[in-house]
């Protein structure tokens, strides 16, 4: 039998998400060469890192990527982060014979424009926080003055995960408006602001693969957004995640599929927008049922690290099938055990932090059974791994239950050292006795 041609793949992005996707793709029998742009210290061990910054979706960058793919027989491009998706990278790289994983620009607006996403949710009667969209400073102040209690103020555009202010009172909400619309610290991303009611409950990340028609709900995970143990401190990109979670019962997932995912895909379709890729609903499980906090149009980081540790099946085939509209033809299975992913961050993150600290002990951690360390903000220099970002490593461990997975992930973190390292030892605490 003639052997099947292997697929060379380019992954855009530089975080733990891109490292874990590469790690899982590499396990596929049809995976050829792996390239990352720009990648990190971990991805350099799986394939080749290219000196291309995909956040810039200008003609030069797009041409550079296109040229690289044509000359290196790369027939699949996976777009990891939101910025290039929102700026239309998927549309611009699309080409006959090339598989692009990641939604087009029209669909990516669901993440890139929170005001528009809110409008879509309203139009489709999708449960979400009550909200007002404002487009000038005075209107924002007047609205806040008319409200009582907690509020959440969000820059409508993309702000590197920093544009959301969870406020306990009017004063904090007014200070948020001052940042976003007064000082314009997020630039154009803050031209419109969404002011929401503050919801209470546990958060759940429900990610689904959508191929334009079929929806496959991946194993849900719980992220931990606050920097410090006990959910204290400032919001971050995510300090740890675990899966499965007892919060996601079959009943809840059917409800989310029926009330959130299906109507979202349908309303986009009504507007002529085909969604292909990952649809990520960030939910608050309120006493009145699950409500959408936000939509993302990509894999969650660090949720996907924990999910991929449990995925059984050929990720390459799964992603291809999603992009090609035949998700109903692939089989997806899950390891029943639990995975806990702990993010080791630079001291000071999400505020100011230093880079260039030498990291030791990754090999010792990985020598433990069922432990894998994914790189996020790292780079390899002269045979050493140095810190190069806020979130540095994602230490993932499997266990028969959450307690065992958490203990093992924490023990693995203890073997890893870099100056100023900070991490939460309580990932999963909200569902543990």
Q: Which does 300 bind (CB under 5 to 8 A by kind): ligand GLY, ligand AMP, none?
A: ligand GLY
For ligand GLY, the closer of residues 241 and 327 by Cβ is 241
> Do the Cβ atoms of 239 and 394 come closer than 8 Å?
no
The sign one gets for the Cα dihedral 291, 398, 384, 343 is positive
**CB contact burial 230-269 (16+ within 10 A = b; e otherwise):** eeeeeebbbbbbbbbbebbeeebbeebbebbbebbbebbe
CA angle, corner 414, sides to 387 and 383, nearest 5?
Answer: 35
Contact call for residues 388 and 375 (beta carbons, < 8 A): no
Q: Does 153 bind ligand AMP (CB under 6 A)?
A: no
The enclosing H or E element of 371 equals strand 371-375
- DSSP states along 33-91: EEEEEE--TTGGGTSEE-S--TT--SHHHHHHHHHHHHHTTEEEEEE-SHHHHHTTHHH
Per partner kind, with CB cut-offs from 5 to 8 A, the member of ligand AMP, ligand GLY, none near residue 303 is: ligand GLY
Nearest to 210 by CA among 258, 120, 278, 108: 278
Q: Which of 91, 196, 211, 303 binds ligand AMP (CB under 6 A)?
A: 196
Task: Tell me which stretch binds ligand GLY (CB under 6 A): 22-30, 102-110, 183-191, 296-304.
Answer: 296-304
User: Alpha-carbon distance 14 to 43, whole Å?
Assistant: 8
Q: Choose, by CB under 6 A, the member of 8, 72, 214, 235 that binds ligand AMP.
A: 235
Backbone angles phi, psi at 418, to 5 degrees: -155, 150
CB 418 within 8 A of CB 358: yes
Contact call for residues 15 and 343 (beta carbons, < 8 A): no
Tokens matching residue 267 = 């309303």
Per CB under 6 A, does 72 bind ligand AMP?
no
- The Cα 239–Cα 244 span in angstroms is 17
Choose, by CB under 6 A, the member of 170, 198, 355, 425 that binds ligand AMP: 198
Which of ligand AMP, ligand GLY, none lies near 296, with the C-beta cut-off 5 to 8 A by kind?
Answer: ligand GLY
Q: Given its phi and psi angles, is residue 348 left (phi above 0), alpha (psi -120 to 50 degrees) or beta? A: left
| Spatial CB neighbours of 176, under 8 Å, sequence gap ≥ 6 | 153, 165, 167
Residue 83 or 301: the one with the smaller Cβ distance to ligand GLY is 301
Under the binding rule (CB under 6 A), the answer on residue 282 touching ligand AMP is: yes
- Residues of span 160-179 touching ligand AMP by CB under 6 A: 164, 166
CB under 5 to 8 A by kind: which of ligand AMP, ligand GLY, none does 199 bind?
ligand AMP
**Nearest to ligand GLY of 22, 237 (CB atom):** 237
Q: Of the two residues 177 and 315, which places its CB atom closer to ligand AMP in the complex? A: 177
* Binding string, residues 211-240; x marks residues near ligand GLY by CB under 6 A: ------------x--------------x--
Give yes or no for residue 390 binding ligand AMP (CB under 6 A). Answer: no
- Residue 203 binds which entry of ligand AMP, ligand GLY, none, with Cβ cut-offs from 5 to 8 Å by kind? ligand AMP
Residue nearest to ligand GLY (CB): 238
Query: Of the listed pieces 24-32, 195-203, 328-336, 382-390, which binds ligand AMP according to CB under 6 A?
Result: 195-203
CB of 32 or CB of 81, closer to ligand GLY: 81
Q: Give yes or no for residue 190 binding ligand GLY (CB under 6 A).
A: no
Cβ(220)–Cβ(205) below 8 Å: yes
> Residues with Cβ < 8 Å from 120, sequence gap 6 or more?
110, 126, 264, 267, 268
Q: Is 301 in the site for ligand GLY (CB under 6 A)?
A: yes
Closest-by-Cβ residue to ligand AMP is 294
If one asks whether residue 227 binds ligand AMP (CB under 6 A), the answer comes out as no
Asked if 192 touches ligand GLY (CB under 6 A), the answer is no
CA-to-CA distance for 251 and 254, rounded, in angstroms?
5
- Does 83 engage in binding with ligand GLY (CB under 6 A)? no
Binding mask 239-278 for ligand GLY (x = CB under 6 A): ----------------------------------------
235 contact choice in ligand AMP, ligand GLY, none (CB below 5 to 8 Å, kind-dependent) = ligand AMP
What distances in angstroms separate CA 90 from CA 3, 31, 78, 362, one per listed residue? 30, 21, 9, 34
Task: Return the number of the residue (231 or 317) whose C-beta is nearest ligand GLY.
Answer: 231
Binder among 259, 303, 314, 426 for ligand GLY (CB under 6 A): 303
For ligand AMP, the closer of residues 166 and 241 by Cβ is 166
Q: Interface residues with ligand AMP (CB under 6 A)?
A: 129, 152, 154, 164, 166, 196, 198-199, 203, 225, 235, 282, 293-294
């Amino acid at each position: 039998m003639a052997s099947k041609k292997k697929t060379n793949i380019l992954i855009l992005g530089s975080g733990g998400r891109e490292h874990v996707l590469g790690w899982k793709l590499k396990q596929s029998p049809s995976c050829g060469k792996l390239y990352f742009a720009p990648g990190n210290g971990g991805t350099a061990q799986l394939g080749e890192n290219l000196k291309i910054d995909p956040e810039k979706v200008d003609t030069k960058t797009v041409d550079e990527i296109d040229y690289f793919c044509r000359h290196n027989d790369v027939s699949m491009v996976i777009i990891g982060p939101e910025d290039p998706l929102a700026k239309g990278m998927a549309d611009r790289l699309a080409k006959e014979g090339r598989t692009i994983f990641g939604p087009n620009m029209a669909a990516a607006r669901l993440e890139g424009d929170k005001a528009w996403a809110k409008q879509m949710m309203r139009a489709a009667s999708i449960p979400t926080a009550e909200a007002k969209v404002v487009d000038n400073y005075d209107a924002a102040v007047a609205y806040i003055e008319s409200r009582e209690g907690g509020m959440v103020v969000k820059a409508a555009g993309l702000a590197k995960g920093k544009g959301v202010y969870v406020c306990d009172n009017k004063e904090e909400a007014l200070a948020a408006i001052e940042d976003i619309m007064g000082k314009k610290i997020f630039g154009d991303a803050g031209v419109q602001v969404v002011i929401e009611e503050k919801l209470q409950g546990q958060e759940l990340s429900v990610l689904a693969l959508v191929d334009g028609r079929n929806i496959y709900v991946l194993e849900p995970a719980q992220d931990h957004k606050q920097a410090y143990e006990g959910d204290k401190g400032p919001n971050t990109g995510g300090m740890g995640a675990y899966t499965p979670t007892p919060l996601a019962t079959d009943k809840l997932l059917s409800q989310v599929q029926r009330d959130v995912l299906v109507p979202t895909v349908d309303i986009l379709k009504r507007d002529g927008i085909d969604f292909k890729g990952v649809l990520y609903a960030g939910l608050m499980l309120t006493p009145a049922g699950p409500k959408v906090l936000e939509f993302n149009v990509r894999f969650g980081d660090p949720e996907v690290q924990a999910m991929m540790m449990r995925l059984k099946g050929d990720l390459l085939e799964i992603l291809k099938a999603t992009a090609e509209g035949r998700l109903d033809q692939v089989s997806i299975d899950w390891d029943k055990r639990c995975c806990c992913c702990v993010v080791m961050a630079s001291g000071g993150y999400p505020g100011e932090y230093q880079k260039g600290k030498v990291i030791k002990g990754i090999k010792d951690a990985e020598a433990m059974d069922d432990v894998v360390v994914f790189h996020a903000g790292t780079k390899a220099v002269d045979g050493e791994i140095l810190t190069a970002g806020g979130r540095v490593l994602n230490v993932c461990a499997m266990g028969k239950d959450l307690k065992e997975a958490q203990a093992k992930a924490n023990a693995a973190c203890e073997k890893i050292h870099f100056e100023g390292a900070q991490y939460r030892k309580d990932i999963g605490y909200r569902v543990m006795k």
